[in-house]
Amino acid sequence: MARILITSAIPYINGIKHLGNLVGSQLPADLYARYKRARGDEVLFLCATDEHGTPAELAAAKAGKPVEAYCAEMWEVQDKLGRGFRLSFDHFGRSSSAQNHKLTQHFAGRLAEAGLIEEVVEKQVYSVADGRFLPDRYIEGTCPNCGYDKARGDQCENCTKQLDPTDLIEPRSAISGSTELEVRETKHLYLRQSAMRDQLRDWINSKTDWPILTTSIAKKWLDDGDGLQDRGITRDLDWGIPVKKGEDDWPGMEGKVFYVWFDAPIEYIACAAEWVEAGKGADWERWWRTDKGAEDVRYVQFMGKDNVPFHTLSFPATILGSGEPWKLVDYIKSFNYLNYDGGQFSTSQGRGVFMDQALEILPSDYWRWWLLSHAPETSDAEFTWDGFQQDVNKDLADVLGNFVSRITKFCRSKFGEVVPEGGSYGPQETALIGDLETRLRRYEAHMDAVDIRKAAAELRAIWVAGNEYLQSAAPWTVFKEDTERAAAITRFALNLVPFYAGLSAPFIPDAAAAMAEAMGVELAWPESAEAALSALPGGHAFIVPEVMFAKIADEAREDWATRFAGTRG
């Protein structure tokens, strides 16, 4: 049994995420966690909300609430939506937790002892109109790298370059739009990432199995231009983790907090400590400290491409720089973007489908299947309502749902709600078992490699094979001349239902559970196609399940296309 630690990039607290966010981290991470658990591995799957920084402060102010109360409330909302999408986190934590405060301060202290923190008196942008220092992401301007005119002071979301606000051309306050900005002096701490460049390069070069998307972004920021830059890890803000050197005060840094990018990835570790405190686990260091049992853990991270620089360079710099035996990531699965109907999903414009809205209109399995089978792995992908309707109706309703419904109803009408006895499998069944055995191993290989689209395509082919078998074996015709043969065909096809349930559960857990329940079996990963397809003996009782997947009608599709075109109500 392998031990697999899985983390999804942690969603920011200030609102409900759209489906593009979901498919870029949490959903594929859940697929992988469910698959690994089904294969019998020991899995710890963690996610949390990312709660610090100015956007949370501003969103709370806008909602008229203290920021702590606002974050607590939004955590509840995100937790509930995660459960709605059946995201099977072992723990859904919070970066504002006491555990993360302690660990973040601990790492800062270790980095300082190692000489990797520099105190810098720097000039920071002060907005006279707003009466405050402006955090990087609240300064907007033109990106010096690509010319995008809405680049933020911390990063250009168009070209992903990490920026400092003073790099921006024609900067303005994102709060008030004021260009009356002054540069004033303030002291900050910098993580000396540049001093760790060779160590980081060696480590990244050793990861020969990483997706190209991940390594290409990492290498770009490691070596392009002047190479990896030192990065500020503190801010002039109220809301965040107070700057401390371990448990000691940090002279000159009173009233300042750690920058959210520094404390957010440390929450991956703190979340495991929260998991233990919540009574769900016994020993979190066993997952995170290679001197305390984590040397055999395989750690896999999931994230959108905009998060890759932080996870390949900055967070590893924190871990390596601490000089302590913390677990480093073994595999980073990163994603391109999912676009929405000819443009981008937009949180600010309310364009696209958001997690709460999605669950209001359809069960989560519909979304899970479509999003995962169209995961933006090698390039950006696009959601269109036509495509969604067509794919979901075909794959889920016409192929899988129809197969289950057809064979269970046929059996009920001819043999009753029990698996029929009599007859034996012939060449047609033997051939399909051979085909499904090959496909099963291929499906497992794609899932092990986290090749999500390929895995979905193989699963779809496995469903199609059953439908084609049923169509060609045609027990309803055979029944008229040879009831024994019809019984064998029916028994074989009924055995495909739990086989499908086990294989489909990582993608569509609710439907899979309903299929297993209707067949009176526990969900299980098949050892082999041959064993699985004679698992249900003659005489085993089942019930005909409810309609598993209602088709999406044209009218509903048109309605939704209009409703989600923009400006969320």
Tokens matching residue 393: 């109706």
Least distance CB 306 / Zn ion (angstroms): 12
Compute the least distance from the CB of residue 344 to Zn ion, in Å: 15
Closest to Zn ion by CB, 106 or 161 = 161
Q: Which of 88, 142, 145, 178 binds Zn ion (CB under 5 A)?
A: 145
CB 37 within 8 A of CB 1: no
Stretch that binds Zn ion, among 152-160, 180-188, 361-369, 529-537 (CB under 5 A): 152-160
- Closest by CA position to 124, among listed 225, 255, 234: 234
> Per CB under 5 A, which region of 80-88, 157-165, 463-471, 495-503 contacts Zn ion?
157-165
Looking at the Cβ atoms of 155 and 467, the one nearer to Zn ion is 155
Q: Given the rule CB under 5 A, which of 13-21, 61-69, 96-104, 145-153 is the region that contacts Zn ion? A: 145-153
User: Which phi and psi (to 5°) does residue 204 adopt?
Assistant: -65, -40
Residues numbered 401-440 forming contacts with Zn ion, rule: CB under 5 A: none
Q: How far is the CB of 453 from Zn ion (least distance, A)?
A: 28
**Minimum CB distance to Zn ion, residue 145 (Å):** 4
Is 169 an interacting residue with respect to Zn ion (CB under 5 A)? no
Q: Which stretch binds Zn ion (CB under 5 A): 34-42, 154-162, 302-310, 327-335?
A: 154-162
Sole residue written with tokens 């995660």? 82
Q: How far is CA 157 from the centre of its chain?
A: 19
Stretch that binds Zn ion, among 74-82, 148-156, 251-259, 433-441 (CB under 5 A): 148-156
- Distance in Å, CB of 64 to Zn ion, minimum: 35
- Which DSSP symbol is given to 437? H
**Residue 267 to residue 490: CA distance in whole angstroms:** 52
Determine if 143 is a binding residue for Zn ion (CB under 5 A): yes
* Position 346 contacts Zn ion (CB under 5 A): no
The residues near 501 (Cβ < 8 Å, ≥ 6 apart) are: 512, 513, 515, 516, 519, 521, 523
CB-wise, 159 or 513, nearer to Zn ion? 159
333 vs 6, 161, 355, 452, CA distance in Å?
Answer: 11, 20, 22, 10
Asked if 217 touches Zn ion (CB under 5 A), the answer is no
The reply on whether position 142 binds Zn ion by CB under 5 A is: no
Residue 178 sits in the site that holds Zn ion (CB under 5 A): no
Q: Judging by DSSP bridges, how do beta strands 338-340 and 381-383 pair with one another?
A: parallel
Q: What is the rounded CA–CA span in Å between residue 82 and residue 22?
A: 9
158 forms part of the interface with Zn ion (CB under 5 A): yes
Is residue 146 near Zn ion by the rule CB under 5 A?
yes
User: For residues 517 and 498, what is the distance between their CA atoms, to the nearest angstrom?
Assistant: 9
278: tokens are 């919540």
**Contact status: 156 vs Zn ion (CB under 5 A):** yes
In this structure, are residues 70 and 63 in contact, taking their beta carbons and an 8 Å threshold?
A: yes
What is the distance between the terminal CA atoms of the chain, rounded to a whole angstrom? 49
Instruction: Report in angstroms the alpha-carbon separations of 87 from 29, 45, 84, 91, 245.
Output: 9, 10, 8, 10, 36
Q: Using the rule CB under 5 A, is 168 a contact of Zn ion?
A: no
Please pick, from the candidates 148, 203, 425, 476, the single residue that binds Zn ion as defined by CB under 5 A. Answer: 148
> Under rule CB under 5 A, how many of the chain's residues touch Zn ion?
7
**Stretch of 153-161, 289-297, 414-422, 526-534 lying at the interface with Zn ion (CB under 5 A):** 153-161
Binding site for Zn ion (CB under 5 A): 143, 145-146, 148, 156, 158-159
